[in-house]
Amino acid sequence: MREENRQWRLRARPVGMVKDSDFELCSAAVPKPAEGQLLVRNRWLAFEPAMRGWMEDRPSYLPPVAIGEVMRGMAVGEVVESRLAGHARGDRVTGMTGWQEWALGDGGLRKLAPGTDPTLALSVLGVTGLTAYFGLLDVGRLEPGDVVVVSGAAGATGSVVGQIAKRHDCRVIGIAGGPAKCAWLTKEAHFDAAIDYKREAVGPRLSELCPAGIDLFFDNVGGPVLDEVLARLARGARIVICGSIARYGVEEPPPGPRNYFHITAQRARIEGFVVLDFLHRAGEATAQLGKWLADGSIAWKADVQRGFENAPKTLRRLYTGENFGKQLLELAGSEADPA
């Protein structure tokens, strides 16, 4: 007998830091697949900093999650019942199935190759890896020999960005919070240097490590860190805006950068992007990322929490800096439940 379908639904628009009370744990009937659909039991949920923006009622690249709607999110699950050609019971699939234990899917879900590590499917070989790959190479126009600075460098995206840059013979400096994260960046991910923003003055350390200026900045944070980088740009620098986690968890957004004039003085370019615009080239990125994983060029970490009831707390880890690597939540075991 199938159990109920537990769901986390959005209850209120967050003000400041995301709270448990912004969500409501609800129960619904387990859905039945129609022709052309799959019934999927979610096993892993992935968490992105962008989720905080999805919860706000403002124009964005995706419509806001509606009040009372299941919280949006990527997952890996197992097919329990299939009425879709090419998919069978026991297949693993990934897609935007949301914060719920059971979900209906269709051809929009991607079937994983047998043996694929679900944590990799939701990180380096998922949206995270695509973001790093296209943001750095296409938007940032990485060139060999660039001095590259990455904020949020110990996070899932930032760590891959830095390692791709190292593959292209660049000097890479990461900015992260805490000695453990900084040590991992230099020892495991082979960054040239790491700045601990919790213990060091970011601006002076950037001046010390980048005496000729910064050629490319991949920004996951915004706020004061962006301002310090803008003051130290090299001629023709590129600034890639991937995220702005500094504005999440505060009621009033931080003021704009004071050093913006350096963009003009150094003939720099600043550009934001959304990975959805590159999904038609996902195969290109995952093929190359897979090769780099296989030859040991990319080290990666997953921060795995457990228990469906902990979804809101797990999301909040992204904004408090508790996570180390890709933030994931394991819901249950790996075997498909009986119909």
pLDDT tens-digit series, residues 241-253: 998 877 776 667 7
Distance in angstroms (rounded) separating the CA atoms of residues 216 and 151:
11
Is residue 285, in this structure, part of any structural domain at all? no
Last residue of a domain, one of 277, 293, 319: 277
Looking at residue 339, its pLDDT comes to 41
- 142 with 261, same domain: the answer is yes
Whether residue 287 lies inside any domain: the answer is no
pLDDT for the residue numbered 248: 72
Q: What is the pLDDT of residue 284?
A: 97
Same domain? For 57 and 173 the reply is no
pLDDT tens for 149-165 read 999 999 999 999 999 99
Q: Do residues 235 and 173 both lie within one domain? A: yes
Looking at the fold, whether 131 and 268 belong to one and the same domain comes out as yes
- Token code pair at residue 146: 């660039």
Looking at 277, 292, 314, the residue that finishes a domain is 277
Q: Do residues 259 and 213 both lie within one domain?
A: yes
Flag whether 290 is in a domain: no
Q: Is 339 a member of any domain? A: no
- Rounded to a whole number of angstroms, the CA Rg of the chain reads 20
- C-alpha dist (Å) from residue 54 to 14, 174, 246, 252: 10, 27, 16, 17
Residues 273 and 176 in one domain: yes
* Per-residue pLDDT at 250: 66
268 and 214 assigned to the same domain: yes
pLDDT number for residue 2: 62
Looking up tokens 């050093």, which residue turns up?
Answer: 259
Same domain, 183 and 241: yes
Asked, for residue 291, whether it belongs to a domain, the answer is: no
- Closest by CA to 43, choosing from 106, 107, 97, 86, is 97
pLDDT of 1 reads 46
- Can you give the residue range of the structural domain that contains 15? 5-122+301-330
* Residue 171 included in any domain: yes
Do 306 and 229 fall into the same domain? no
Residue 235 burial by CB count (10 A; 0-12/13-18/19+): exposed, middle or buried?
A: exposed
pLDDT digits (tens, 9 = 90+) for 107-143: 899 999 999 999 999 999 999 999 999 999 999 999 9
pLDDT in tens, the chain (339 residues): 467 999 999 999 999 899 999 999 999 999 999 999 999 999 999 999 999 999 999 888 899 999 999 999 999 999 999 999 999 999 999 999 999 999 999 989 999 999 999 999 999 999 999 999 999 999 999 999 999 999 999 999 999 999 999 999 999 999 999 999 999 999 999 999 999 999 999 999 999 999 999 999 999 999 999 999 999 999 999 999 998 877 776 667 767 788 999 999 999 999 999 999 999 999 999 999 999 999 999 999 999 999 999 999 999 999 998 999 999 999 975 444 444
pTM: 0.92
In this structure, the answer to whether residues 137 and 232 fall within a common structural domain is yes
Tell me the C-alpha distance between 305 and 28, whole Å. 24
CATH code for the domain in which residue 238 is found: 3.40.50.720
**Same-domain pairing of 145 and 268:** yes
Residue 74: CATH number of its domain = 3.90.180.10
Specify whether 213 is located in the same domain as 315: no
- Domain count within the chain: 2
CB 281 within 8 A of CB 87: no
Give the model confidence (pLDDT) of 212-238 as tens digits.
Answer: 999 999 999 999 999 999 999 999 999
**What is residue 249's predicted lDDT score, i.e. its pLDDT?**
64
- pLDDT confidence of residue 256: 76
288 lies in some domain: no
